[in-house]
Amino acid sequence: MELNEIRLFSPATVANVSCGFDVLGFCLDTVGDEMVIRKTDERGIRITKITGYDLPYKVTENVAGISALAMYNTLKPECGFEIEIHKKIKPGSGIGSSSASAAGSVFGMNVLLGDPLNKTELTSFAMKGEAFASKAEHADNLAPAIFGGFTIVKSIHPLHIIELPTPKDLYATIIHPQIEIKTSDARALLPQKVPLRDSITQWANLGSLVHALHTSDYDLIALSLNDVIVEPHRKSLIPDFDTLKEKVIKAGALGCGISGSGPSIYTLSQGIKVAEKVEDAMFMIYESTSIPFDTHVSKINTEGIKIIK
Amino acid sequence: MELNEIRLFSPATVANVSCGFDVLGFCLDTVGDEMVIRKTDERGIRITKITGYDLPYKVTENVAGISALAMYNTLKPECGFEIEIHKKIKPGSGIGSSSASAAGSVFGMNVLLGDPLNKTELTSFAMKGEAFASKAEHADNLAPAIFGGFTIVKSIHPLHIIELPTPKDLYATIIHPQIEIKTSDARALLPQKVPLRDSITQWANLGSLVHALHTSDYDLIALSLNDVIVEPHRKSLIPDFDTLKEKVIKAGALGCGISGSGPSIYTLSQGIKVAEKVEDAMFMIYESTSIPFDTHVSKINTEGIKIIK
């Protein structure tokens, strides 16, 4: 029987991951959008339902629509597609909300067309939607959403994505302080030039982290999750960042940093128990502020975006 | 029977390795110094023989003497040591000549004392000699000389060295153009600040290279061996660098770059046949210049410094 409709889980993701600014990312398991992609006789792309957040139905103004359209116009299939977006990831939260939408439509269409495209090609089309959302072409959230696990975006032109291994006991805890950080503000804080000395520290850390992921060396993961380039400039955008970081490390987290360009903060821990203790520590800090927030504990999702019932 | 004298092979090494400026290095197998370390009843450190190159006999002016003395003054053993240095690696060639000397004395003394120190501790003492030679504390040649294979010096304070795996079919070809490059000149060419954009490219490459070494992915090694930070500034110091690089890549080399701060140029290749073809290509270019040179083909030495008969 030919498949005409699928329901997807399109996961949230953490980009940058301290030492891997602009190239590294990983995929979450317990936070993500649901999307329904439906094949239709009528040609073209339509967004038929959006729940959760108020997003545009117009295909050319919606990231899921834009990525779908880019793929559709290239493949020129004999059918059309309807897209339903059940948005669970708050737009602007810093855990890949637009990437989840952009990835979902192309992933779903690809399944319904019999998998003509590979994951790198899907990422490439999804980047068209992502570029609309963030005004810049990047794939550091899309790659982990589509491939799962940890990924390095080695280059954008040509698009080259590397899948890294995931130590089996690694968990993320995320806090999303519900403040708005404009990507343009986060970008404006970045210097055009950085000290060579700091760059050397950063690539020593990223090289070490990649080795640590390959060898499941949790101590080395902890020693490598440092960001001497971007975090010092951006952390002022997030209330109580330093205090929170200090407390989650005390609670046992291997590392802590800004997720994407914020405001979410990610931590990584060995084992779910530590990850939950870290969540408690986050509550302690943020409950004493007037800022609304939510938290998530998640195993690293090594599968990425997937079909659900 | 107690060992009173050992003969060592103290290998040449390549530091920086394009994308790993100041942190990455690897160890050579066919080029290195020979050193004899002898336990004596008389206390203290003496350098009793130097062949190959004209180097100071005075312990406090010789890198092997300085590193030996640092270790000796800390361990305070009940004996003394004589050091013979049979120098094969030309000082200033850019393949870790001073590191080989500094590593040899401490490695040999450690064996004769019954191995009281681990490899990181040995590196730490050897750094005292290296610091005298290069006016800066670094371990990017010492670490591969002592540990073998590919190493990352993650940090100097505290000294943290990471051993990376070596794909079994990886060979280096080195050309040493016999010109003098003062380390101070090579340093003066480096900017204090570098574009953030280039730094991102560099750490994407180093992260990818570490993954490639773990997965024996020769294609990815080739794609990762790029240096957008240092090579553009320093390559002008080495005659015909661009031409040579173009020809060795054409001959099949996976990558090519400045070894340390030069003047030697390293390449990596898959298989000894390609490494030899690369050597031929180097000859072609440099025979047409008036610059004397020598070349070496070497398997990556995964053992590092070792006792020989």
Q: Model confidence over B200-231: pLDDT tens digits?
A: 999 999 999 999 999 999 999 999 999 999 99
- Rounded CA-CA distance A285/B117 in Å is 45
Q: Which two tokens stand for residue B56?
A: 């100071």
pLDDT for A137? 82
Contacts of A164 in chain B (CB under 8 A): 211
pLDDT at A1 over 80: no
Cis (ω within 30 of 0) for the bond into A177?
A: no
Domain ranges, residue B53: 5-164+303-308
Q: Which of A77-81, A110-114, B31-35, B288-292 has the lowest mean pLDDT?
A: B288-292
Helix intervals (H) in A235-271: 241-250
B31 class by beta-carbon count within 10 Å (0-12 exposed, 13-18 middle, 19+ buried): buried
C-beta separation of B116 from B105 below 8 A: no
Residues A10, A158 within the same domain: yes
C-beta separation of A79 from A85 below 8 A: no
Q: What is the pLDDT of residues B129-167, one digit of tens each?
A: 999 988 788 999 999 999 999 999 999 999 999 999 999
B289 Cβ contact list (under 8 Å, min separation 6): B177, B239, B240
- Rounded CA-CA distance B309/B302 in Å is 19
Neighbouring C-beta atoms of residue A61, cutoff 10 Å:
12
A305 Cβ contact list (under 8 Å, min separation 6): A8, A9, A10, A11, A100, A103, A104, A107, A145, A146, A148
- Rounded CA-CA distance B22/B154 in Å is 10
Mean pLDDT of chain A: 96
Residues B71, B187 within the same domain: no
B60 class by beta-carbon count within 10 Å (0-12 exposed, 13-18 middle, 19+ buried): exposed
Give me the number of domains chain B comprises. Answer: 2
Give yes or no for A106 touching B (CB within 8 A).
no
Amino acid sitting at position A58: K
Q: Please name which of A171, A172, A152 lies closest in space to residue A162, comparing C-alpha atoms.
A: A152
Give yes or no for A23 touching B (CB within 8 A).
yes
Assess whether B289 carries a catalytic annotation.
no
CA A129 to chain CA centroid, Å, is 14
Residues B129, B207 within the same domain: no
Rounded average pLDDT over A56-70: 98
Which of A210, A219, A229 would you mutate first to test chain B, the one with the most B CBs within 10 A?
A: A210
Contacts of B154 in chain A (CB under 8 A): 204-205, 207-208, 223-224
pLDDT tens digits for chain B (309 residues)?
568 999 999 999 999 999 999 999 999 999 999 999 999 999 999 999 999 999 999 999 999 999 999 999 999 999 999 999 999 999 999 999 999 999 999 999 999 999 999 999 999 999 999 999 887 889 999 999 999 999 999 999 999 999 999 999 999 999 999 998 887 788 889 999 999 999 999 999 999 999 999 999 999 999 999 999 999 999 999 999 999 999 999 999 999 999 999 999 999 999 999 999 999 999 999 999 999 999 999 999 999 999 997
Q: Please name which of A251, A246, A224 lies closest in space to residue A235, comparing C-alpha atoms.
A: A246
C-beta separation of A239 from A289 below 8 A: yes
CATH number (domain holding residue B186): 3.30.70.890
Instruction: Report which DSSP code applies to B266.
Output: E
Residues A124, A272 within the same domain: no
Residue B183's alpha-carbon distances to B50, B99, B240, B261, in angstroms, are 24, 14, 20, 7
pLDDT at A41 over 60: yes
C-beta separation of A156 from B197 below 8 A: no
The CA angle A9-A14-A15, to the nearest 5 degrees, is 125
- Rounded CA-CA distance B162/B173 in Å is 24
Neighbouring C-beta atoms of residue A32, cutoff 10 Å:
27
A78 class by beta-carbon count within 10 Å (0-12 exposed, 13-18 middle, 19+ buried): exposed
The pair phi, psi for residue B122, each rounded to 5°, is -65, -40
A65 class by beta-carbon count within 10 Å (0-12 exposed, 13-18 middle, 19+ buried): buried
B93 class by beta-carbon count within 10 Å (0-12 exposed, 13-18 middle, 19+ buried): buried
CATH number (domain holding residue A12): 3.30.230.10
Three-class secondary structure of residue B245 per DSSP: helix
Residues B127, B242 within the same domain: no
A204 Cβ contact list (under 8 Å, min separation 6): B22, B23, B152, B153, B154, B155
Classify the C-alpha dihedral B54-B58-B59-B60 as positive or negative.
negative
Residues B149, B221 within the same domain: no
Rounded average pLDDT over A287-293: 93
- Rounded CA-CA distance B126/B119 in Å is 10
- Rounded CA-CA distance B51/B67 in Å is 19
Rounded to a whole number, what is the distance in Å from the CA of A226 to chain B's nearest CA?
12
Instruction: Report which DSSP code applies to A16.
Output: S
Which of A137, A163, A205, A208 would you mutate first to test chain B, the one with the most B CBs within 10 A?
A: A208
Residues B115, B134 within the same domain: yes
Residues A194, A157 within the same domain: no
How many A×B Cβ pairs under 8 Å? Answer: 116
- Rounded CA-CA distance B274/B255 in Å is 12
Rounded average pLDDT over A27-49: 97
pLDDT for B182? 80
pLDDT at A182 over 90: no
- Rounded CA-CA distance B83/A58 in Å is 80
- Rounded CA-CA distance B54/B98 in Å is 13
Classify the C-alpha dihedral B61-B65-B66-B70 as positive or negative.
negative
Helix intervals (H) in chain A: 63-75, 97-112, 119-134, 142-147, 183-188, 196-215, 218-224, 231-234, 241-250, 272-287
Residues of A assigned a catalytic role? 130, 183
Residues A184, A148 within the same domain: no
Rounded to a whole number, what is the distance in Å from the CA of B307 to chain A's nearest CA?
29
Contacts of B24 in chain A (CB under 8 A): 207
- Strands A293-299, B293-299: pairing is unpaired
Which of B210, B217, B229, B231 would you mutate first to test chain A, the one with the most A CBs within 10 A?
A: B210
Residue A26 parent element (H or E): strand A24-40
Axis crossing angle, helix A119-134 with helix A97-112, rounded to the nearest 10: 140
Classify the C-alpha dihedral B249-B254-B258-B259 as positive or negative.
negative
Residues B185, B85 within the same domain: no
Rg (CA), chain A: 19
| A19·B199 Cβ contact <8 A | no
Rounded to a whole number, what is the distance in Å from the CA of B149 to chain A's nearest CA?
14
> What is the layout of strands, in order, in the sheet containing B170-177?
B255-258, B265-270, B170-177, B293-299
Give yes or no for B205 touching A (CB within 8 A).
yes
Q: Please name which of A124, A123, A109 lies closest in space to residue A72, comparing C-alpha atoms.
A: A109
Across chain B, the runs of DSSP E, i.e. the strands, are 5-15, 24-40, 44-51, 80-86, 150-155, 160-164, 170-177, 193-195, 255-258, 265-270, 293-299, 306-308
Residues A34, A146 within the same domain: yes
| B214·A209 Cβ contact <8 A | no
Residues A12, A150 within the same domain: yes
| A207·B205 Cβ contact <8 A | no
